[in-house]
Structures are given as C-alpha cells and as structure tokens.
Amino acid sequence: MLWLEVLPENERARIEPSFLRRTFKRGETVLLQGEPSANVYVVDSGHAAVKVSTPHGESLTVTVLGPNSSFGEIAALTEDEIRTSTVVALDALAVRVLPHRVFDELRRRVPAVDTAIAQSLARRLQNLSDRMAEATFETVQRRVGLRLVELADAFAESSTSASLPLTQDDLAGIVGATRPTVNQVIGTLVTAHLVTVGRGHLDIPDVSALRRYLR
C-alpha cells in the first residue's frame, strides 16, 4: 500500500501545496546513486528504472516503477540520506516531489505512514526472496518469460499486446542473468514469434501466447 493511501483527507490537503510536480523524458536521470537525498517521489504516470552500480562499474536495472509507486522514503529514514540507487525515466514520466522535511513532519503526525512503509519493505523482501528461489529452481528461460509477462502487465498498450521500453541489458539485470544468456533466450522467443526486438524496446505482440508458452 502506498503511504499516501493511508492519509486522512485533511492530511492530504495539508501536504498538497508542498508537492512540486516534475516531468522527465525517456532516458533522463531523476536521481543519481551516491548523491545526497532531499526528497520523496510519487509516480503519477509513466515508468522508471531503478539501477545500481556494481563494484566493476556496471549499471544493473533491478526493478521498474510505475504509477502509484513511490521512491526516496528509505533514504528519508536514514541519517546519512544518501541515494542507494539511480532512477531513470523509461518513458514520459510525471512525478510529485515532497521535501524530506515535510515528509518527516507527516510521519510524526500520522504513524500509519511508517506502518505503510514497513509493509512495503516487507513486500520487497518477500519479492527478493521469491527471486532468489527462482534463481535456484527455475531455468533462465522461464525467469525471462516470467519477468516479461510481469512487465507486459505494467506497460500493456491493450489487453493483448505490450511494448516495453527496455533494452536486453535492462532485462538481464531484472532477471539476474548475464546479457549473453538473456540474449539467447530472447532469440528463442523471437523465433517462436512471442517477442520482437527493436532499438531500445522489446515488444510482446500477444501476451496471452507468452503466458501459454510458460505453462
């Protein structure tokens, strides 16, 4: 549950003037890993990739955020307030930005906000646990397919098809596999007419067919 959803109407009205609205084009950086954190962000429309830098200088996409999600709350809870990841717009992205000062005051007035954040963290940990189990027991081919179906639901253009503004590098990071291995799996899906590859995007012409393929 997004922390905004637990706010009483009077609290929503109280913080609304403090929100700054910003928009980003595809490829624009919203936040940079390692920089000081000063705000909490709420996604109104569009999608963003959360990326982390490895000790070897590589950038891995770990998840994708969509409408009604938020980021920056965790940094607001820590004393150093340093960004732990980079956030990049995947398409036309619109966000609301709330200063940490206002967010901290809100948390003191409405304890349910911290409860909502804790529940969100619990879901993320469960998701991480599920992914680790998948990495142990599922083939890379199935993991790629499962992530594509999840992403298709997030980016669906219609009830049957989806265009994902992701590269194969992005997908490899999300799946937790090497780029060459993911490329090989994508090649198999292309041959099966389940996926098409374009410059900077992956298209799924029939999401239902991909689901059937995974059964």
Q: Is residue 48 part of a domain?
A: yes
pLDDT at 72 over 70: yes
* Domain that residue 202 falls in: 138-214
Q: What is the CATH number of the domain that holds 142?
A: 1.10.10.10
| Whether residue 104 is found in the same domain as residue 158 | no
HSE on the CB side for 202, CA within 13 Å?
Answer: 26
Tell me the one-letter amino acid at 95: V
Domain total of the chain: 2
Structural domain ending residue among the three candidates 82, 99, 134: 134
Q: What is the CATH number of the domain that holds 63?
A: 2.60.120.10
- Confidence (pLDDT) at 158: 67
Tell me the one-letter amino acid at 45: S
| Whether residue 33 is found in the same domain as residue 121 | yes
pLDDT in tens, 73-88: 887 887 667 888 999 9
pLDDT at 68 over 70: yes
How far is 91 from 48, CA to CA, in rounded Å?
Answer: 7
| Whether residue 124 is found in the same domain as residue 206 | no
Please give the full DSSP string across 115-172, using - where no structure is assigned. HHHHHHHHHHHHHHHHHHHHHHHS-HHHHHHHHHHHHHHHHBSSSS-EEE---HHHHH
How far is 124 from 116, CA to CA, in rounded Å?
Answer: 12
pLDDT in tens, 99-117: 999 999 999 999 999 999 9
Evaluate if pTM is beyond 0.75.
yes
How far is 141 from 185, CA to CA, in rounded Å?
Answer: 6
| Whether residue 34 is found in the same domain as residue 105 | yes
| Whether residue 153 is found in the same domain as residue 89 | no
- Confidence (pLDDT) at 80: 67
- Confidence (pLDDT) at 160: 87
Q: Is residue 2 part of a domain?
A: no
Are 7 and 113 a contacting pair, CB within 8 Å? yes
Q: Is residue 1 part of a domain?
A: no
- Least confident span in 2-16, 48-62, 90-104, 168-182: 48-62
pLDDT at 57 over 80: no
